[in-house]
C-alpha cells in the first residue's frame, strides 16, 4: 500500500515504514531514483519486510524458525521455542543454583583453588560480585581462604584439592591458610 503511494508522487514511504529514513528521503526527492529504485523495490519489498520483522523479533528476545537447505535439497527446520514471557522475573533460587554450579565447576577445574578474577572471567559476574559469591561460600563452610606470598586471596575448596601438604607446587606458591 505504501509503495502504491508512488503512483501519486509520494515515493519512498515504504522505506520510512521499514526503518530506512535516509533512503526514504532520497526516494521522496528523486521520485524513487527516477522510478527505477521504486520499480526494483516492488520486487524486493517482501524480503525487506521479512528481514525487518526478524530483526524486531530478535530485539524482543523471541526465537526464530530458521530454514536451512541441506546438501540433499531438503529444508530442515529448527524447532521453534515459545517466546519468553516479557515480564517474568528470573527465579532467584535458580540463579543461586546456577552460580553455585559455575563456582564448583571452576573450582574443580582449578584443582580446588579459585580467585575472584578467575570466577569473573568465566562468568557474567563483576569482580565485586565474584568476591561476594566466594565469601558467601566460605561463610557457609564449603571453602576456606588462603593468602599467597604476593597477597592474592585464594579460595580453596577442600573437596577438590588434589595435593597433600608436601606438594611442591603448593609450597612454591607460598600459600598460607587463614
pLDDT at 77 over 70: no
Work out the percent of the chain whose per-residue pLDDT is above 90.
0
**Close Cβ partners of 65 (under 8 Å, ≥ 6 residues apart):** 77, 78, 80
Domains of the chain by start residue, with CATH: 3-69 (no CATH), 92-177 (1.10.10.10)
Give the chain's mean pLDDT.
74
Residue 11's pLDDT is 82
Residue 166's pLDDT is 47
Residue 76 in grid coordinates: 530442515
Residue 84's pLDDT is 52
- Over range 47-59, report the average pLDDT: 80
* pLDDT tens track for 96-148: 678 888 888 888 888 888 888 888 888 888 888 888 888 888 888 888 888 87
SS (H, E, C) 96-152: HHHHHHHHHHHHHHCCCEECHHHHHHCCCCCHHHHHHHHHHHHHCCCCEEEECCCCC
Residue 175's pLDDT is 55
| Helix/strand/coil percentages in the chain, nearest 5 | 50, 10, 40
pTM to 2 decimal places: 0.41
Which position has the higher pLDDT, 145 or 175? 145
Residue 12's pLDDT is 81
pLDDT at 5 over 80: no
H/E stretch holding 176 reads strand 176-177
Amino acid at each position: 500500500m505504501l509503495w502504491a503511494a508512488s503512483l501519486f508522487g509520494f515515493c519512498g514511504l515504504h522505506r520510512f515504514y521499514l526503518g530506512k529514513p535516509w533512503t526514504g528521503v532520497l526516494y521522496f526527492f528523486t521520485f524513487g531514483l527516477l522510478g527505477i529504485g521504486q520499480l526494483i523495490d516492488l520486487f524486493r519489498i517482501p524480503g525487506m519486510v521479512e528481514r525487518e520483522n526478524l530483526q524486531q523479533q530478535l530485539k524482543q528476545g523471541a526465537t526464530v524458525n530458521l530454514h536451512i537447505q541441506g546438501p540433499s535439497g531438503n529444508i530442515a527446520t529448527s524447532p521453534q521455542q515459545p517466546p519468553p514471557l516479557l515480564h517474568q522475573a528470573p527465579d532467584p533460587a535458580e540463579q543461586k543454583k546456577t552460580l553455585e554450579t559455575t563456582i564448583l565447576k571452576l573450582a574443580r577445574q582449578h584443582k580446588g583453588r579459585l580467585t575472584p578474577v578467575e570466577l569473573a572471567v568465566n562468568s557474567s559476574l563483576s569482580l565485586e560480585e565474584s568476591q561476594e559469591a566466594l565469601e558467601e561460600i566460605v561463610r557457609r563452610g564449603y571453602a576456606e581462604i588462603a593468602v599467597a606470598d604476593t597477597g592474592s586471596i585464594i579460595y580453596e575448596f577442600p573437596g577438590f584439592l588434589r595435593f597433600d601438604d608436601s606438594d611442591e607446587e603448593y609450597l612454591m606458591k607460598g600459600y598460607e591458610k587463614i
